[in-house]
Structure 1
Amino acid sequence: MKDTFPIYDICAISEFKRDDILISRFAPYLKSHKNLALPHKHTFYHVVLFTEGGGTHEVDFTTFAVKPFQIYFMVPGQVHSWSFEGEVDGYIINFSVPFFQSFLLRPDYLEEFPFFNGTTDHSVIDIPHPLQSQITQLFEAIIHESEINEKAGLDMVKALMLQIFILVSRLSTGSKSQNATSYNYTLLKSFQKLVEKSFSELKLPKDYAEILYITPNHLNAICKDMLGVPAGEVIRNRVILEAKRLLINRDQSVTSIAYGLNFADNSYFTKFFKKHTGLTPEDFRKQTLTHTHHDSTTYR
């Protein structure tokens, strides 16, 4: 395990640096990037469809059993690692944040898809059998377009990717947000964006409610109705997630992490972290790094 926690830019692992995208079948990608089995972050979007293989894939400290026709959508900043068993194959697409921003003149288009909201529970999806062939054909078409270098090839790749995103998003029929009023849904998305931007400075629902020009009770009602948890828990969960992401970097002390997250002192941070995870920051770091080292020795 390296002392410095790796954060990869698209240019560091892409053969298509100029176009901010990497497109590959998964087996050769895995062979070329074995170091990516260890925990790391990306500054880009990461889409993986497994078509064969087993083992585990961990995203933001949640472990998933790898199985065929399981698709992963990861956003910049998420921590992930994998420990595979046997031969693994599928498809992978890495693309930078600006890649879609000018397309269709909709810079926020990706935010409409629930699997790109950074919530782990929404980002791992099993593709049902009736859809598997169609999704596979779309990935194959993307591979083909990346190889033939035809006119408007990148636009065709984007169009094919959007077909995949739309088809997969239609599987999320259980989302409460689909039945919500557009006003409340817009408020929820605004709240989530604010939390992502300000979770280390603003820790109370009333702070966000004030910015959104609504009451704390209204904000809580929206979160409970659409997410199943109160607004305060949304904020706390984001703080805990960031603390976990920082703790697996051994170069950062627990004290520096506490101050970076705007806790008054290390003691308060430790109490907060233990209350919501059951472990002290030091115990979480020790447990995670031990688990990571074991996984890296079983990688093949």
Structure 2
Amino acid sequence: MQKHRASIPVRSWDSNFNGIAVVRIASEIPGSKEFNHAHRHDYHLFVLQESGISYTEIDFKKYLIDKPTILYQSPNQVHRALKVENISGFILTISNENLNADYLKLLQRNTPIEPLSLCSRTDLAIIQACFLLCRNLYDRKEDKLYHLQLKDSCNTLVALFMSQFLKQSKPAEKLSRFEIIQKAFSELLEQNFVHMKRPADYAAALNISVAYLNECVKNVTGFSVSHHIQQRIILEAKRLLYHSDKSVKEVAAELGYDDYPYFSRLFVKVAGITALTFRSKNHD
């Protein structure tokens, strides 16, 4: 049985962490026993798994990775390692302050990002080479421009990751009007779901009618605006219920619901079970 906490645990580096760390993985992830327990980070995490097998859970979705793969986890995502076998690769952790502002915006717009297998040997080789450079620079702490050269090289690595992820998505200039609206709605939802719960709130922010917003979102995703709002709220509720000892009433209040019975009914509608039943199904 999991030992519940007052809030979702957040993993931080030690006090010497200067906002960037580059780690080589060999057989076992450093501190991997801690990673078996669900947690968030207070930094961005970029992983290259070169070989081996890992089984990871991110926001209640499980991913089996058994080939060269890149993986990104944002500070908001709750995750844990379920299984790690003979793994090799690299990990970059980097704070908001050290990320290029344009790359940070891209990450925020595209999160969550699914793990991506690297089918091209050329793509794998250049990311490996960049990771190796970053790892070597990370050790050169006596260099006069240590932090600047490390920061610049790691942002190049982030750009390589984003380039791979963006290959899988449609270029902005090829997006339809419906897709542009849906993407803008998704960005607003991620930033405001606690305070904005009505489709009308999002339509007003985008300067369009509720009917047109619904038409755009449903055309692209197959689901209504209300569906997406409710799904995002209940995802956050699941995170809090699963990884903290807050009561259902406290979770409801944290997510902006003063009407506790209404929140309880909403949870059942979206999750298919009561909030207490969900909590009792402990995976740890």
Q: Which residue of 1 aligns with 2:110?
A: 117
Which of 140, 161, 167 is 2:163 aligned to? 167
Q: Which residue of 2 aligns with 1:26?
A: 25
In the superposition, the TM-score normalised over structure 1's length comes to 0.81
In the superposition, the TM-score normalised over structure 2's length comes to 0.85
The separation in 2 between residues aligned to 1:223 and 1:172, in whole angstroms, is 20
**How much has 1:144 moved relative to structure 2?**
1.7
**How much has 1:54 moved relative to structure 2?**
1.8
Which of 132, 136, 142 is 2:128 aligned to? 136
The separation in 2 between residues aligned to 1:213 and 1:192, in whole angstroms, is 15
The separation in 1 between residues aligned to 2:116 and 2:15, in whole angstroms, is 28
Aligned length: 277
Q: Which residue of 2 aligns with 1:60?
A: 59
Unaligned runs of 5+ in 1: 293-300
Counterparts of 1:228-239 in structure 2 under 5 Å?
A: 228-239=222-233
The separation in 2 between residues aligned to 1:137 and 1:52, in whole angstroms, is 16
Q: Which residue of 1 aligns with 2:196?
A: 202
Percent identity, aligned pairs only, is 25
**How much has 1:133 moved relative to structure 2?**
2.0
Aligned in 2, Cα 1:206/1:74: closer, same or farther, shift over 3 Å? same
Per-residue deviation, residues 141-188 of structure 1 (Å, max 9, x unmatched):
221221234434224323431442243134314x48562158963x54
Aligned in 2, Cα 1:237/1:176: closer, same or farther, shift over 3 Å? farther
1:284 corresponds to which letter in structure 2?
Answer: F
Which of 163, 180, 190 is 2:175 aligned to? 180
Give the secondary structure class of the aligned counterpart of 1:17. Answer: coil
The separation in 1 between residues aligned to 2:245 and 2:95, in whole angstroms, is 27
Residue 259 (str. 1) matches residue 253 (str. 2):
yes
Q: Which residue of 2 aligns with 1:84?
A: 83
The separation in 1 between residues aligned to 2:20 and 2:3, in whole angstroms, is 27
Give the secondary structure class of the aligned counterpart of 2:30. Answer: helix
Q: Which ranges of 4 or more aligned residues in structure 1 deviate by more than 6 Å?
A: none
The separation in 2 between residues aligned to 1:113 and 1:238, in whole angstroms, is 18
**How much has 1:64 moved relative to structure 2?**
0.5
Aligned in 2, Cα 1:212/1:265: closer, same or farther, shift over 3 Å? same
1:2 corresponds to which letter in structure 2?
Answer: K
Q: Which residue of 2 aligns with 1:220?
A: 214
Aligned in 2, Cα 1:55/1:276: closer, same or farther, shift over 3 Å? same
Aligned in 2, Cα 1:28/1:52: closer, same or farther, shift over 3 Å? closer
The separation in 2 between residues aligned to 1:178 and 1:127, in whole angstroms, is 25
RMSD between aligned residues: 2.7
Confirm or deny: 8 A CA contact 1:146 1:157 kept in the other structure.
Answer: no
Aligned in 2, Cα 1:221/1:99: closer, same or farther, shift over 3 Å? farther
The separation in 1 between residues aligned to 2:202 and 2:53, in whole angstroms, is 42
The separation in 2 between residues aligned to 1:203 and 1:255, in whole angstroms, is 18
Confirm or deny: 8 A CA contact 2:27 2:86 kept in the other structure.
Answer: no
Q: Which residue of 2 aligns with 1:148?
A: 140
The separation in 2 between residues aligned to 1:42 and 1:212, in whole angstroms, is 31
Per-residue deviation, residues 235-292 of structure 1 (Å, max 9, x unmatched):
11210111111111342001111222233433322221122122211111111x2x22
**How much has 1:226 moved relative to structure 2?**
4.2
